[in-house]
Structure 1
Amino acid sequence: MVKTKPIGSKKNTSNSKAKTVALLFSGGRDSSLACGVLAKKGYQIYLLTFNNGATIRQDLADNRYEELFKKFPDAIIKREIIPSYGLFKDLGLKNLEKDIKKYETNLICMSCKLSMHVISLIYCLENDIPTIADGYTDYQKKWIEQMPEAIEAVKRFHEEYDIKYINPVYSETSKEQVKDKLMKFGLSTKSLEGTCLFGGTFSIPEPHRVVSYIEDKLPQCRRYIKSHFDEKTDNFP
């Protein structure tokens, strides 16, 4: 399931994993700032980049990763590039017509993020990582996956597996703030992330519709996680 990006990979030699985190990493400004904030707080960081099958120039994030590793070599353990398109298709595309009729908007981006969270949960359970983080921000909260209500719903899902879900840069209220803090870290202020074909292809829904969508998809997410571990062992965590 996992492809390893070997540039700068190293073994986590810490005796305690209490401050180890898996960061959903696109290479964009917000997830890059989240990496810097987590590094400054003393976290050991695994950067997880997901291939949803619909992103143009995802390789741009490689440049950001190299920049971050040079800046925080003691904090970044490794980067993983993980395919998420199979689960994304199952969650968001197979029943797309029914979902649009039910929720009255296109919620594909939420299913894409859910697939990332599910695979991140598996990664953390397998590698004894207690925390998952992302680069969500207040100034982006109009987007469905970054709505406070959606974040809380996903957070409750993580708690089912004893994994903490945090948003270290959610207090950022503007792109200018993020760029200013990146500059203070000595990082590029450019957004070095690919462009998803599904970005901006939907109207903004009411938060309760997003939460309902998430809750309707979670049983499928749970089955995916259970199936993954059932194939490997009888001892499901």
Structure 2
Amino acid sequence: MSKQELAILFSGGTDSLAVYALAAIGQHPQLPRPVKIHLLHMLNGMSRFHDFPRRRFRVAQEILATKLSEPEGLPQAEMVELDMGRLFQGLWLDRYEELMPRYNGKNLVCVACKVAMHTKAILYCIEHLVPVLATGYARRQSYYPEQTPVFMEKVAALSEHFGIRTIFPVFEDFDDEQITRHVLEDLGLPSTGGGERKCLFCQTLTTATPSEIGAYLDDMVPRAKEYIEHKLQGRVREAAAVFPPGR
């Protein structure tokens, strides 16, 4: 089978770094070495230390290049920054006073952020003819509402609607932090934190259940679908109206 291109949601953290490394060297059954890797780094407008992920990517590239003896070397890779702040605001921040009561007052800010990320990633993959999108979601982090089966099922269905296959190749594998560290250290890569931008909402408490997460997604995924369809057809006015500002 001919090699395809691959997109990865890339935060610069250990899990997404490991997904990039495994794809680059072709050492995971769900990640055959692609012809090109697009590392999609999302900007939500609420983060700082902006150069951390790019530094980690560049260091990883240099180290991985020493691991391959094949003439073709590493697949071509580029890190692309995509601004999804307006979507993030529309999905939660602009209307959280209205939205929270619908979902038992639960904090779903990170779910909204990830929906915005996937929406932008789907658009990117369609526009750049990239058939597969991978994430570094891991079972051990299922206390994050956006790394739960209900979230993954619904965003995968959204991307499938547009012909993009979203995969979660290390969700089961990385059920323990030590496994992720082993993979990275075995390749000579950084195995501890420090590669991500630091988000204002990182580590905020949520007690949202799968039922509440699912209810929010059932409301918002159709709107994300509508937004993508308008954007693909160049209907800028209609796309903007999907997530109007809260004022």
CA contact (8 A) 1:130 1:164 kept: yes
Moved over 4 A (4+): none
- CA drift at 1:147: 0.5
**Aligned residue for 1:180?**
182
Letter in 1 for 2:98: K
Out of 35, 38, 62, the position equivalent to 2:54 is 62
**Aligned residue for 2:217?**
214
TM-score computed with the length of structure 2 as normaliser: 0.83
Q: How far does the alpha carbon of each residue in 1:151-171 deviate from its partner, in whole angstroms, 9 at most, with x for none?
A: 111111111111111012112
Letter in 2 for 1:110: V
CA distance in 2 between partners of 1:194 and 1:80 (Å):
15
Q: How far does the alpha carbon of each residue in 1:191-224 deviate from its partner, in whole angstroms, 9 at most, with x for none?
A: 2111111122232211111011111001221222
Task: Please provide the CA RMSD for this pair.
Answer: 1.8
Q: How far does the alpha carbon of each residue in 1:82-136 deviate from its partner, in whole angstroms, 9 at most, with x for none?
A: 1110111111111111211111201010111111111111111111111111110
3-state SS, counterpart of residue 80 of structure 2 = strand
CA contact (8 A) 2:155 2:221 kept: no
CA distance in 2 between partners of 1:61 and 1:78 (Å):
12
Q: How far does the alpha carbon of each residue in 1:23-64 deviate from its partner, in whole angstroms, 9 at most, with x for none?
A: 000000000001112222312311000110001213211111
Please give the residue correspondences for 1:77-156 in structure 2 after superposition, counting only pairs within 5 Å: 77-104=77-104, 105-156=106-157
**Aligned residue for 1:162?**
163
- CA drift at 1:190: 2.4
TM-score computed with the length of structure 1 as normaliser: 0.87
Letter in 1 for 2:220: K
CA distance in 1 between partners of 2:76 and 2:138 (Å):
22
Q: 1:94 to 1:232 in 2, by over 3 A?
A: closer
CA distance in 1 between partners of 2:232 and 2:206 (Å):
37
CA distance in 2 between partners of 1:130 and 1:204 (Å):
35
Unaligned segments of structure 2, at least 5 residues:
27-31, 66-72, 237-247
CA distance in 1 between partners of 2:140 and 2:96 (Å):
28
- CA drift at 1:189: 1.1
Unaligned segments of structure 1, at least 5 residues:
1-14
**Aligned residue for 2:241?**
none
**Aligned residue for 2:192?**
190
CA distance in 2 between partners of 1:108 and 1:216 (Å):
15
Question: Identical aligned pairs, as a percentage?
Answer: 28
Aligned residues: 218
CA contact (8 A) 2:54 2:79 kept: no
- CA drift at 1:232: 7.4
